[in-house]
Amino acid sequence: MVCRHLLPLVSQKVTKMGRLLSFRFDPFRNYFSMMLVDREREPTAHDDETYEFCLHLIRGLRTGEAKGFSNDGGDLAQDYPRLMELLEAHPVPGRYDVPDLGLTDATLPEIITAIYERHVVGQEPEPAYPVVGDSVSTLQVAEGESEERTSEVDH
């Protein structure tokens, strides 16, 4: 005998979930930081050499478990191609959910690619100089000097 109220549970698709990561990105430095939300509290250390300081793998000292990831001191815009090569050569096990990126059950390379595509490639750089047509006075008239000694430059 099959209970009818249990049938919908059997036919529902089960969504696989990874471990939940908190996410932070600093657009000024192209820096990201992600930490496991449910991580066991313990002293941690960085595994930096494996990933040539492009990625800091934060591990628990007691368990050896990955607790988080960052690229502190690096620049994702410059380091991305090499970082992907390093992750292919030295994969990080595990699958993760990053709600801030809309990712569920993603690998670390998939997460870093999403960060790169959304926060680095998708950025429009701030102009370093005034827009063409704006003029900026490059010299100020010092007290007692003539106006002939000043100029304006169009950028």
Give the pLDDT confidence of 64-91 residue by residue, as tens digits: 888 999 998 889 999 999 999 999 999 9
The CB density around residue 30, as the number of other CB atoms within 10 Å, is: 20
Whether residue 73 is contained in a domain is answered as yes
Give the SS3 label for residue 151: coil
From the centroid of its chain, how far is CA 88?
A: 18
- Contact present, 30 and 76 (Cβ < 8 Å): yes
* Per-residue DSSP letter, 76: H
Whether residue 91 is contained in a domain is answered as yes
Residue-range definition of the domain harbouring residue 65:
16-121
Whether residue 45 is contained in a domain is answered as yes
**Tally of domains within the chain:** 1
User: What b-and-e string marks burial along 49-78, b requiring 16 or more CB atoms within 10 Å of the CB?
Assistant: eebeebbbbbbbeeeeebbbbbbeebebee
* 67 or 5, higher pLDDT: 67
Identify the weakest region by mean pLDDT among 1-10, 81-90, 104-113: 1-10
Whether residue 29 is contained in a domain is answered as yes
Whether residue 5 is contained in a domain is answered as no
Closest CA to 50 of 13, 99, 83: 83
Whether residue 47 is contained in a domain is answered as yes
pLDDT score at 32: 94
* 52 or 2, higher pLDDT: 52
- Contact present, 66 and 79 (Cβ < 8 Å): no
Whether residue 142 is contained in a domain is answered as no
> CA 56, CA 48: separation in Å to the nearest integer?
5
Give the pLDDT confidence of 28-46 residue by residue, as tens digits: 888 899 999 988 888 888 8
Whether residue 111 is contained in a domain is answered as yes
Say what the pTM is: 0.67
